[in-house]
Structure 1
Amino acid sequence: MGSNEDAQSFFNKATEAFSQIKNTDEGPWLVVNYGNLAWLHHHLGDQAESEAYLSKVNALNKKYPSPSQEELHPEIYAEKAYTLMTFNGDINLVADYFQRAIEMQPDRVEWNSWHVLALLYASNYSCSSTGLEDDIFKKMRIAQEQDPENLYLAAHYLCQRAMRGESVKDEARGLATKVLRSPVGSYSGLKPLLWLYGKHYDEAIDLAEEALNNHPDERYLKRRAALCYKKRLLCHNSPPTKSMLDRAVSLHQEVIALYPDSSLMRKIHLAAIYSLSHDGKAKAEQIYQELLISDLELAGQQVLFNSYAKYLHFQKKDRKMSIQYHMEAAKIQHQSYFRKDSIKVLEIIRDKGRDRMCGEIRNFLANLQEP
């Protein structure tokens, strides 16, 4: 980290996670929280505050000793899992930590619920079928029956049922009513419901706007609403209305201002939305030109080059420059979806053999080094 803004972001996310997941404000799980805070203050240069939190960690370890020298306290395993999940850590490690906690304290219903969700995430992130999908689905059903108040789990369970062809629209509407009455946050259940409404009913925007109407100043809801508009505009073939475009632009501008440290992808989305209208094409080009001269890390450059290559191809009809930027994205020694996508595009052009740059592409790919 290293700045007050980063620290504030950390505290906000931690507060959100703890307020929604924990049912108590005292216990060995605080070892993880205080350890995180000690690390944070150390990186912010506040050594005294860091040492104060380390003292709290030591006191808690004495008050809540681990069952054995080989194992941590089950609540510490669970809190490590919560923390990793909140900050997009290794999802397989999340599942492992929850499994260890459950083995030591099997009566904790909420741990089982989040363990099942971690297994679901791990399965979703896998590049191929794990063969465990049916088993996870059964575990989700049991967990949902045991933990009916977990709206986040309930929403994911509905998504899984819908993916299997079940009709769940009435249940989804009932669950949405509960979610909209609940505190706003990442684990309220709104995110999976928006996916369900968008994927199966084309009503995600309506749900997002309803949530925003209830909480008009919540930046999390503005971010989710902006994503709904982006998906609706960029992933549907039907022409957008001016009012929808205007609303999408307005939301993206707000979200960019609210999340300045993670605005690259949102600026790219905004450019894509602008490019959908004749009046917005100049603004789209302006956004890309500003990004191209900005100081981005290599991973960010790769995202930008890949996105700009697509923009050049589909919006500007400039195949040559599009190919050049796909090459620029592929050259960056950072393994990512965007690099793979650019390489795939180049391979398709090479294999078709119709473009005058095929020879150059062939040589480029033959000499391309892997990260």
Structure 2
Amino acid sequence: MGENAEGDQVKENLIELNCHFTWKLLEDFDIPDLEMRISEELEFLDSKNQVGMFNLRAYVNHLKGQHEEALQSLKEAEALIQEEQLGQRSLVTWSNCAWVHYHMGSLAETQTYLDKVENTRKELGSSFPYNMEHSETQYEIGFVYLKSGRDNYRPAKACFKRALEEDPENPLYNIGYAVAAYHTDIHDDNISLEPLRKAVRLNPKDPNIKVYLALKLQDLGEAAEAETHIEEALSSISCQHYTFRSIAKYYRRKGCLDMAFRLLHRAFQESPASGYLHYQLGLCYHRQVMQLRTSTCKPAQRHAAQQAVLEFQETVKLRPRFVMAYVCMAEVQAEIGQHEEAEANFKKALNMTELYRNLECHKEQDIHLRYGRYQHFHRKSEDEAITHYLIGLHLKEETFVWKKLLASLEEIVTRRARLHVGIVESYCLLGFIHKLKGDKESALQYYELALRLSGVVNRKF
């Protein structure tokens, strides 16, 4: 077989592998941000999860053309697999090694790793030498989706679900599924509660999953049980700065800003260049600004607002595609009368919804909700507010934000109808609102009333 023919055969075999190079996960992603998160997690995650992060880092190295660095990351993954006796996790690592060597032009090394994969597949009883769907591969794919950004939580959940079908009591698979479920639990259907409880039961020493459960319980108003899990997480000897930022989120939502600030500053000691931490700190100052809204101490509110803006500016400097940082910055600027700056940041966020079409639906809805509220309460433009509430509602996924959009629209339109402002349009919108609420009879009545009034208005002119 000639050299070209041999290379073609090797390429065909590589394409059959189940690994980062064939999953095509990161074609439109903020690589610098991902690199920073990989570094943080490699420093603070336990060794079982570090294997996945080393593989992900190797793939990012490849995307940057750093193949020697990619091989080093894969060697570290291999060493951990042997040390921790993690068995089948070698398959993905070896597959990635084969691809890296192929891109480096080393066909002999490529074939060595292909042989390792093939021999292991045979031991597992597979009739396919290079491609075999099994729980460990599904876990690895899900892990990459989970770590590569919010836009990939749904496919991550699907992968972990398939892994659990083969191994339902696996502690790692249950953590992956529970975390992905938590991040996709945006329809008020509480799909993540039981998976989180099961993951905590199977991983009693893991403080991170306890915090996720606590946050979900906090959403449901189960304050006492949530507090128990937070206290257990804080008292855990393995609780490090990576967990502090999630616990800070719990205390911020609870209104205990002093505790939230304290935990975030402890986390900053380990990761001073974390865009996510700057964002969380900005949210704490944002909350402080809102708490001081009715206070007579305007200098205190202005100071909190300035601090919030500084944190959000640092966030977008480190993570330019962090769309909600622009929105939160705009809200703070609106509170202290910086309307020109607020408008500019809202427009940046709205433009980003056009640029990045894979933005989650509920996030895009939230941007229109917040911009609508800004127009309504700060700019006193009900027409603009209605426009953006309608845009958000036409993104048809019925998330918790969608329900807020519907309620906000109904509030404005009901008042306008009562005051006979734009009466025909108001009744049409009330018909539309009741249609969305599932009340077809009321919707029809409002539409008929709008038609009758439309005829009266036309006759007058």
Normalising by the residue count of structure 2, what TM-score does the alignment of the two structures yield? 0.59
Pairing 1:326–2:389 present: yes
Match of 1:80 among 126, 141, 148: 141
**Deviation, structure 1 residue 314:** 1.1
SS across alignment from 1:320: helix
Paired residues in the alignment total 347
How big is each residue's C-alpha offset from its partner over 1:259-302, in whole Å with a ceiling of 9 and x where there is no partner?
1123x321121111012224x34432343466678893486786
Pairing 1:241–2:304 present: no
SS across alignment from 1:22: helix
CA distance in 2, matches of 1:125, 1:241: 32
The answer for unaligned runs of 5 or more in structure 1 is: 42-46
CA distance in 2, matches of 1:288, 1:141: 39
The 1:15/1:151 distance shift into structure 2, 3 A limit, reads same
Matches within 5 A, 1:143-158: 143-145=202-204, 148=205, 150-158=206-214
Pairing 1:216–2:281 present: no
Match of 2:343 among 285, 299, 302: 285
Contact 2:393/2:406 (8 A) holds in 1? yes
Match of 2:247 among 193, 204, 213: 193
SS across alignment from 1:275: helix
Contact 1:75/1:101 (8 A) holds in 2? no
The 1:254/1:359 distance shift into structure 2, 3 A limit, reads same
CA distance in 1, matches of 2:173, 2:349: 43
Match of 1:22 among 49, 52, 64: 49
The 1:111/1:161 distance shift into structure 2, 3 A limit, reads same
The 1:367/1:165 distance shift into structure 2, 3 A limit, reads closer
CA distance in 1, matches of 2:208, 2:181: 15
How big is each residue's C-alpha offset from its partner over 1:306-346, in whole Å with a ceiling of 9 and x where there is no partner?
43221011112222332244345556x66475666444433
Which structure: larger Rg?
2
Equivalent position amino acid for 1:77 in 2: Q
Matches within 5 A, 1:41-80: 48=103, 58-59=114-115, 61-65=117-121, 66-68=124-126, 72-80=133-141
How big is each residue's C-alpha offset from its partner over 1:192-227, in whole Å with a ceiling of 9 and x where there is no partner?
312321233513233223322454333332232223
Equivalent position amino acid for 2:202 in 1: A
Contact 2:376/2:382 (8 A) holds in 1? yes
**In proportion to residue count, which structure has more helix?**
2
Contact 1:113/1:153 (8 A) holds in 2? yes
* % same residue: 14
Contact 1:77/1:101 (8 A) holds in 2? no
CA distance in 2, matches of 1:128, 1:173: 27
The answer for unaligned runs of 5 or more in structure 2 is: 1-25, 52-76, 82-87, 437-461
CA distance in 2, matches of 1:37, 1:220: 31
Match of 1:261 among 302, 307, 321: 321
Normalising by the residue count of structure 1, what TM-score does the alignment of the two structures yield? 0.70
The 1:298/1:317 distance shift into structure 2, 3 A limit, reads farther
Pairing 1:360–2:419 present: no
CA distance in 2, matches of 1:292, 1:110: 38
Contact 1:274/1:283 (8 A) holds in 2? yes
CA RMSD of aligned residues (A): 4.6
**Deviation, structure 1 residue 85:** 2.2
